[in-house]
Amino acid sequence: MVKTVVSVGLPVDERLQIRKQVIEPEGYDGKGKRICIVTGTHGDELEGQYVCYELGRRVREQPECLRGSVEIYPSLNPLGMDSITRGIPMFDLDMNRIFPGSEEGPVPEYVASRIIKDIEGADLCIDIHASNIFLREIPQVRMSEMTAQNLLPFARRLNIDYVWVHGAATVLEATLAHSLNTIGVPTLVVEMGVGMRITTEYGCQLVDGIFCVMKDMGIWTGETIEPKKPIISTDGQVGFVNANHSGIFIPQVDHWDSIHQGEVIGEILNPLEGKVEEVLHAPCDGMVFTLREYPIVNSGSLIARVLGGDYH
């Protein structure tokens, strides 16, 4: 059943509407657990769209296996998604920096507050992101140190490849995940793929994992896979490679490749002068879990993140 989470009139003959699909067993008594899958906070991140479709399809295929409530929110920023806009159109705001929002505040904050109110009380929320248009990510869950104890048991079962436990940053307190974790809804942030594209194999991998978690929670009784064991790391194990010149970046490694310290990750080229501006090297032995996708770079552009260790 499609429900409207929040609806706001737009100036000319249209409404901004955030909708969710609620799938429950026939004659559901409401006593089961509730999982929310949310995505589309950033209008240029599309990987979660396929996850929403595939999750809904598989649940409907075996309705007899459902014992709880599955709520799918494909787009928290529908205007952004429709207009290939990362932020909220008209406000040029990053929607993931305005939570928990405010009922009395400006429209974006009002919308944010309604989203929080709607998800409140869920037993688990999975917030799916897709990096941005510049970087490609392997399927991973990110969480702050403060939430790791609570969230790691879920993340280990989500069939993702990597869990990055990062330090807390005050600015991240304005994210959807932080707000939900604060009010007692365990919320996992998934990052995978790249902006403006859909990688169906990543989507299927995550959906397999969501079923594993739903089975653990007693929401699903159907067959599930044995999920992958993710690599779990902290900030200290992650090496960053940033450009120091502008130009076009041509990679010499593949995403997810193992690499040795000092090995060439790629070059920044100057198309006008026909010369190499910079050769970028791996900062440590490890695995390239983030790799630049968009070729044009400035000084500072993130090129790669390398997870230190031996992953051959």
Q: Which residues bind another protein (CB under 8 A)?
A: 8-13, 16, 86-87, 90-93, 97-98, 104-107, 110, 132, 134, 170-174, 240, 242, 245-248, 270-272, 296, 298-302
Question: From the CA atom positions of the chain, what is the Rg in Å?
Answer: 20
For residue 268, the minimal CB distance to another protein (Å) is: 9
**Could you tell me which of 267, 262, 308 has the C-alpha nearest to residue 288?**
308
Residue closer to another protein, measured from CB, 59 or 111: 111
Q: Identify which of residues 83 and 298 has a Cβ nearer to another protein in the complex.
A: 298
Closest approach of another protein to the CB of residue 274, in Å: 12
Nearer to another protein, 30 or 271 (CB): 271
* Integer CA distances (angstroms), 35 to 39, 84, 127, 134, 151, in order: 13, 28, 11, 31, 14
Tokens 């014992």, located at residue: 67
Q: Which two tokens stand for residue 257?
A: 């490749």
Nearer to another protein, 49 or 179 (CB): 179
Residue placing its CB nearer to another protein in the complex, 1 or 171:
171
- What tokens does 239 get? 């090496």
CA terminus-to-terminus distance, the chain = 46
What's the token pair of residue 37? 């899958």
CA–CA dist 63, 222 (Å, integer)? 9
Beta-carbon contacts of residue 305 (< 8 Å; ≥ 6 apart): 238, 239, 240, 241, 288, 289, 290
Rounded to whole angstroms, how far apart are CA atoms 156 and 227? 8
Least distance (Å) between residue 42 CB and another protein: 11
Least separation in angstroms between residue 156's CB and another protein is 29
The least distance separating another protein from the CB of residue 280, rounded to whole angstroms, comes to: 13
Closest distance between another protein and the C-beta of residue 243, in Å? 9
Nearer to another protein, 247 or 286 (CB): 247
Least distance from C-beta 287 to another protein, angstroms?
21
| Residue 69 or 132 with smaller CB distance to another protein | 132
Q: How far is the CB of 96 from another protein (least distance, A)?
A: 10
> What are the DSSP calls for 220-285, one per residue?
B-S--------EEEEGGGEEEEE-SS-EEEEESS-TT-EE-TT-EEEEEEETTTTEEEEEEE-SSS
DSSP 290: E
The answer to whether 213 touches 157, Cβ cutoff 8 Å, is: yes
Nearer to another protein, 16 or 23 (CB): 16
Cα 266 to Cα 30, 232, 273, 287, 300: the distances in Å are 54, 26, 18, 15, 15
